[in-house]
Structure 1
Amino acid sequence: DKVRPNCIGNADGDLENQVGRGKLVRLYQQWPSKNMFCCCGCCMTGGTDECYCPNMCVWCFILVPSCTYFGLVAPKLISNGIYLLPGATLAIFLIATGLLLATCCTDPGIIPCREVILATGTADQLKVALGYDVLGPEGSDSASLPPQLRKQGYRFCNTCCIVRPPRSSHCSDCDNCVLRFDHHCPFVNNCVGQRNYHYFFGFITCVMVLATMVMPALALHLFNPDQDKAMKNAAKIDKSMSLLFYAMCAVGELAADIAELKDMLQRAQRPAVREELQRVLTKLEAEQLKAKSSEAAPAATSPKVAPATAQAAAPAVDVRPVGPWTEITTFALDLGGYNKPDVSIDLRLKGVEELPAESLTCDFKEDSFDLKIMGLDGKNHRFVRTNLEKDIVPAESSFRVKKNHVIINLRKVKGEYGYDSWVDLCAKGKRKPAASKSENPQDSIMSMMKDLYDEGDDNMKKIIGEAMYKA
């Protein structure tokens, strides 16, 4: 009769002989190792009796502080309107206990021994699953294992009488060969191997997080006399966790939107559709980068400068392409008035605040500045001005980003009697050097009159000419 793979012989005698006699029982009931099975063989644990005490200690160290926290601290937090902190603690507690159960009761990657393979007739299945003959050649032992297999890391287990693959090992506590055997952990009372290593790593991580959330809260509740201050601190932590939670949700949603847009962009055929999808994709990628770096320094700003007074309202920006850059030509200007330290320039650019800090740079020089904005709506924008009306102080000049605005502050040079007065942002012609203190005042007046005559209109030239004639 054909033998079912999950059934082997009775408890008496050799397994193959028992199968032949047809006395069939469940495989886990006759498994030749030190493992213990429960739930009809769905769950298993291993190890000797010495492992039960460390495993019970782990459960006690998790359950006792956590239950005390949920019985004493959590109700008080909830009564003070703090919900996220105990909720997060409960979630971490449930995940940690679930991962501990999975680590304790999951098959770590056991390779059946020769006796089980022959009794169940699963040699061909194992050969397909593992990629080699587990039983090896007839009469295999450590010495007869082919050199090619030994060079690749295969070894013959003298206990299980099988050829085990690289990184596998025989656990003396469970009496099994385990795939990618890491160690036998007495605290989970099971081996840690290929099939439960991720559970074990997750359990270690979650239990550390749980300890940092539960133990300080219990200590503050039991030993801190100033409970009001503790509640205020807990409220601050709860608020920070809320912000972090919403930020993580936003990043996750942005990642999903970006993935879907990339898929749509690959399938789009029309140029106009592809251009619009690329624009939206660039914007979302900038938002994602900003969300991930929200704790970093804000967008390339220098020391904060007070906003200029009497600033004109900025009209919508008008741009025209210049090579790889789009030049900004429309802006609002505030020259600062008499003895004011700054000249303010307001550029209106929709969505500029969503760009990362690295996308905005401004190079200040004594007689010029160059603002570059990269990746805004899929384009690179530039605002550059040379031959300024007066010299500026580059080290004290700055720019700052507001919602839909970029504001540039140019720090004027302070002269002997105060800051220079500007009449325009850029000089119309070549700037003339400032007059020296030792220069003859009469020569300065004559030079000024000459400049007025050269640059003035016909009426100005007529008035200056008449004045010079009468003089």
Structure 2
Amino acid sequence: MAAYRTPCPRASPRPSTRPPAAAPAGFRPPLPGESCRSTPAAQPRPEPVAEGAGLCRGPRLQVVPAVDLANLPSVLTQLQKDLEEVKVLLEKATRKRVRDALTTEKSKIETEIKNKVQQKSQRKAELVDSEKPAAVVAPITTGYTVKISNYGWDQSDKFVKIYITLTGVHQIPTENVQVHFTERSFDLLVKNLNGKSYSMIVNNLLKPISVEGSSKKVKTDTVLILCRKKAENMRWDYLTQVEKECKEKEKPSYDTETDPSEGLMNVLKKIYEDGDDDMKRTINKAWVESREKQAKGDTEF
């Protein structure tokens, strides 16, 4: 009798304690009817990126073609010819569509001519501005103005000469020394001398002068003003009319028709008013002695 061997049951595998491996990227489980071989899913193609995509875009700049200013006259001539021809065709055209197209073209040419003319005018203005000399800025005079009160004067047969002493005046530019003459006056202005300006105004000259013949000279530390006399060979006793009037007021007046003793008293009174303390004491002493003698009958005084 044949021995019967009972098949040994296959031992079941031990369960794994390891965590399942992560599926690769793009892996998907097979569908029914598909092979168990895993095939990675097709990767999507990247879409083509336009050049400059993803960059910050600002407003698009309009490119203006450069204008050849040297050829503007010839360009304008050609545009004028085109405009004349379009006008001739517009006069001959009878169809509405053709006339509309010619009218539009005519407007375009006229606008272009207008723009070219403006560019030409602007170019001329720029050339004129570039040819103008740069403005010369005068130096700003600092300091203050000093009034000149000390001077000397002299005269010849033709000129009255006024001498003004200013230290360093010969070292400044000649245009900084200005003199303005009129028939009976002159004024002197010296600018920016040692940080100051100096002025002298003389009005009411004693006699008229010649404006054209008068002048100035700058010498070492001195300004010489030459006033040309209108009446030559005539002597000036004073420089101004005011000076003459003041001097004449100071002179004592003698009236021959009045009592001589009264005139003498006026002279003594004038001397007393203008004299110092010692002069006044002397006059007072003489006056007292004179009164005492008159009281005694002695009239020697």
* TM-score bracket relative to the smaller structure: 0.3 to 0.5
Larger radius of gyration: 2
TM-score normalised by the chain length of structure 2: 0.36
TM-score normalised by the chain length of structure 1: 0.24
